[in-house]
Amino acid sequence: MKAVLFDFSGTLFRIESAESWLRAVLEAAGVALPASELADKARALETAGALPGGASPVRLPAGVAEVWRVRDESAELHRAAYTGLSRQVPLPDPALYDALYERHRIPAAWAPYPDALDVLSGLRERGLRVGVVSNIGWDLRPVFREHGLDRYVDAYALSYEHGFQKPDPRLFTVACEALDADPGGTLMVGDDRRADGGAAALGCAVHFVDHLPAAERPDALRTVLDLVG
């Protein structure tokens, strides 16, 4: 292997819990809810799939279903999809829906998996080039910079910047070309078997990890170092 591509959410980083997400936004807005009501609202938002990087929607409302399918193809579609889902849950102030969306885009809302630093630095030490290939509607580079991981990433291929999303092979092609890497010598690591598995169409090897809370997945990425030899 000469290069490794990584997915972002659920692979290298994990979003905060729905309750932490909602609490932070309510506190910033000066809105107080009883603890039990806050917990209920957080569970409802999670069921709705309103937290990007969190659980998928249990049910897609008719007005959101179409935009959900292509949500990662532009910043506008991404915002529309997730604020549309969050609006299924009644909140005290309509401004909170946009505030929730803005909250998930800041570095403080994300944490790298415990082994991410060691694995990325290990790949750099071995001379492998690293790319991040993400279905997303906003610039995640500041998240990597804030957490000290940007120095280990050589290229980013973000769906909203190109107008197509995984599993479309074109997004993986963008990443491989940016790394000057032959797909046959490239490993794609992700948590979504359909989206990330699209790299196989180019001839990339593919390895999957489970999308779990960080505390439940302390060392799954370390297998990557064994796979690249």
Two structure tokens written together for 194: 């359909």
CATH architecture of 3-14+110-228: 3-Layer(aba) Sandwich (3.40)
Residue 14 has pLDDT above 90, yes or no: yes
> What pLDDT, on a 0 to 100 scale, did the predictor assign at position 91?
97
> What pLDDT, on a 0 to 100 scale, did the predictor assign at position 41?
98
Query: Which strands make up the sheet holding 129-134, listed edge to edge?
Result: 155-158, 129-134, 3-6, 186-190, 205-208
pLDDT per position as a tens digit, 67-113: 999 999 999 999 999 999 999 999 999 999 999 999 999 999 999 99
Read off the pLDDT of each residue in 188-198 and give the average, rounded to a whole number: 98
> What pLDDT, on a 0 to 100 scale, did the predictor assign at position 229?
83
Q: State how far the Cα of 75 lies from the Cα of 82, in Å rounded to an integer.
A: 11
Q: State how far the Cα of 170 lies from the Cα of 202, in Å rounded to an integer.
A: 9
CB atoms within 10 A of CB 216: 9
Q: State how far the Cα of 99 lies from the Cα of 114, in Å rounded to an integer.
A: 28
Q: State how far the Cα of 148 lies from the Cα of 160, in Å rounded to an integer.
A: 23
For 221, residues 6+ apart whose C-beta sits below 8 A from its C-beta are 11, 12, 113, 115, 116, 119, 189, 209
3-state helix, strand, coil in the chain (%, to 5): 50, 15, 35
**Quick check: pTM over 0.85?**
yes
pLDDT per position as a tens digit, 121-154: 999 999 999 999 999 999 999 999 999 999 999 9
Confidence of residue 63 (pLDDT cuts 50, 70, 90): confident
209, 191 Cβ separation under 8 angstroms? yes
Spans of all domains in the chain: 3-14+110-228, 15-109
pLDDT per position as a tens digit, 15-27: 999 999 999 999 9
Read off the pLDDT of each residue in 175-191 and give the average, rounded to a whole number: 98
Strand (E) or helix (H) holding 5: strand 3-6
Read off the pLDDT of each residue in 174-197 and give the average, rounded to a whole number: 98
